[in-house]
Structure 1
Amino acid sequence: MNKYIVIASTFLLFACNNTEQPVEVVDEVNVEITKHGEDITEEGAITPAEFLTQLEGKDSLATKLATTIDEVCQKKGCWMMLDLGNGTAMRVSFKDYGFFVPKDAAGKLAIVQGVAKMDTTDVATLKHYAEDAKAPQEEIDAITEPEINYSFEAVGVIIKGESTTPNEE
């Protein structure tokens, strides 16, 4: 009888020792790259912070910028808004209306090459626009500082985005 107890105990001891390693399921990440307009490369693209520094004191700048797409025209993809990282966005149009970007590109990384422009709308003009829009007087009176606007005419765009494909095991 003791013999059976020892054999059963040994069997149970080895049965509890699970040597099987857990299998980790990893999703495959594919980076989709699409090009629009002129054939450009990623080399030399600057960050939004570098862009704002280089544009300071100028009204225009020929450059290549890499940043996130905030919004895309949902009618044709004929413009997009890029995040400048300082709470503002910059409207990007495409040279000679010659190309468009995918309407589902928001949230993806864009590398744009072209000419950026900065202009300032003075307080009087901003108040005039508000009056034309029939804004309440309190809103018109609250306009006390000029508005800085950024625009970009792109000759070429690269859009990079990730798509995840689950691994099936």
Structure 2
Amino acid sequence: MGTGMQAQIVTPVGVHALDSGGPAIPCHRCGLCCERWQPLLTRADSERLAAHLGLSAAAFEMAYTQPYPLDDERRLLRQVDGHCVFLRYEGRHTTCTVHLARPQACRDWQPGLSRKECMEGLARFADATGLIRLEDLYPDEADRREALRALAPRGSP
């Protein structure tokens, strides 16, 4: 997408200009939040992730975390190659390999057009003119319907 060009999503009901401050939208799995942020883990997060991976809490912490310098009780999820250790790239989309057991900080993250990371992540799906096809952004039909509801003018069905 060229400099100064505003991204637009092409949907069956028209073209929607995207601007910051917009509504919550389904996650478009760009992975930018997983590249930029390093979740602070609680003890419950570590235990849940360890169980999900079939590891002891100690083995999980040794393999997938690093110390948090401001608190001896909590740890940071490790990053590898500039992103979360559990992030996998699948073309322009990404997948969290521990999504069902993800840390609370990740569960609390609410994607939306008000998030700088989400707005920047949309650019990964834009063509040279700044257009983003809804089908490219959301391969899943349910996510497309949710996105259309979020993008609809207020008061629309």
Give the TM-score, by structure 2 length: 0.22
Q: Which has the higher contact order (CA 8 A, sep 6+)?
A: 2
Q: Which has the higher strand share?
A: 1
Q: Which has the higher helix share?
A: 2
Structure of larger gyration radius: 1
Give the TM-score, by structure 1 length: 0.21
